[in-house]
Amino acid sequence: MTALKNDRFLRALLKQPVDMTPVWMMRQAGRYLPEYRASRAKAGDFMSLCMNPEFACEVTLQPLDRYPLDAAILFSDILTIPDAMGQGLYFETGEGPRFRKVIDTVADIEALPTINPEHDLGYVMEAVRTIRRELNGRVPLIGFSGSPWTLATYMVEGGSSKDFRKAKAMLYDTPQAMHMLLDKLAQAVTAYLNGQIRAGAQAVQIFDTWGGALSDAAYREFSLFYMERIVHGLIKEQDGQRIPVILFTKNGGQWLEAMAETGAHALGLDWTCDIRGARARVGDKVSLQGNMDPSVLYANPQAIRAEVARILERYGHGSGHVFNLGHGITPEVDPAHAGAFIEAVHELSAQYHD
């Protein structure tokens, strides 16, 4: 594999010295970019974009051609695993992802197949290989998956949910059924991420989008437990390089200490968390990623720069910080504002690295 020309993202995740704070954005390949919208129109629809490795590569690289980002993230969707398990993923205009089959019973869970990444999700593995080849060492490539709990909510609800009524009813009524589902999903996520690592992903992130909807006890039992299992099952080194793992639980700031004990290298923070307090709580155990409110990007470039400066000052000196948004960039953001954000991180962060 080609040597990396810019490895500050990987170095920061491993708490090694860097010249400036690295930055990337969740959903950096997305609808805020006109070139993304053009590619999606050419592909026909979102799933056609995801399932074509050439298109997936094209949109993964688009933000890197605009901005001096420090990492690329695979263009895909967190719901590829349930789709590969036969749930029938489709997208309803204005309603988001839906499944043709819904998990209602233990029999439904028992019928879920074991996933072979190369066979059942080969289009993702081929996309990873294609992106790595086209990146040619510019920056590292991040692979990702949804967490078992997050995937389970979609599979039980049949799509997005505001209150997770069906998923939480299963969790409390028949916890053994939910554990059976989460166990299958943890095995699938582990295999999926290891497949991405073998194909060329140089770091991986687990998106626990809906972990923050759980109570303290339920989060630890039904979300964190399975993410820790995944972390322990992941390939630790590939091609002589360590593969850092990032855990991101949205609205999960109260569990940072527990998350830091999982073996992950870094924790993603949403914008509700104070990064100075988070750094004090986790100490040297993990790096931190985040955590600007994505809505700041609606403001003018001077306001964006001021917020970047504030977060950098709150984190303080030294490595172990990857600058990011506290969640994904939103479709209505002006691409010029995203550029101002990235420029501000690089320009203002050098003073914090000796």
Residues designated catalytic: 27, 31, 40, 77, 154
| Residue 305 annotated as part of some ligand binding site | no
Is 298 part of any known ligand binding site? no
Compute CA distances 46 → 55, 59, 75, 278, whole Å: 10, 12, 11, 36
- Chain centroid to CA 242: 18
29 a known binding residue?
Answer: yes
DSSP E strand boundaries for 105-213: 141-146, 203-208
Tell me: is residue 37 an annotated ligand-binding position: no
The DSSP bridge pattern shows strands 203-208 and 237-238 to be: unpaired
Name the strand (E) or helix (H) holding 164. Answer: none
Compute the distance between CA of residue 79 and CA of residue 178 in angstroms, rounded to an integer.
18
Has 327 been labeled as part of a binding site?
Answer: yes
Among 73, 55, 51, 52, smallest CA distance to 64 is for 73
CA separation for the pair 177, 169 (Å, rounded): 11
| Cβ 267 vs Cβ 224: under 8 Å | no
CB atoms near residue 161 (< 10 Å) = 16
Q: Is 154 annotated as a binding residue?
A: yes
Residue 8 known to bind ligand? no
DSSP string, 25-44: -TT-SSTTSHHHHHHHHHHS
Q: Which residues face 325 on adjacent strands?
A: 292
* Annotation: binding site: 27-31, 77, 154, 209, 327
* Annotation: binding site for substrate: 27-31, 77, 154, 209, 327
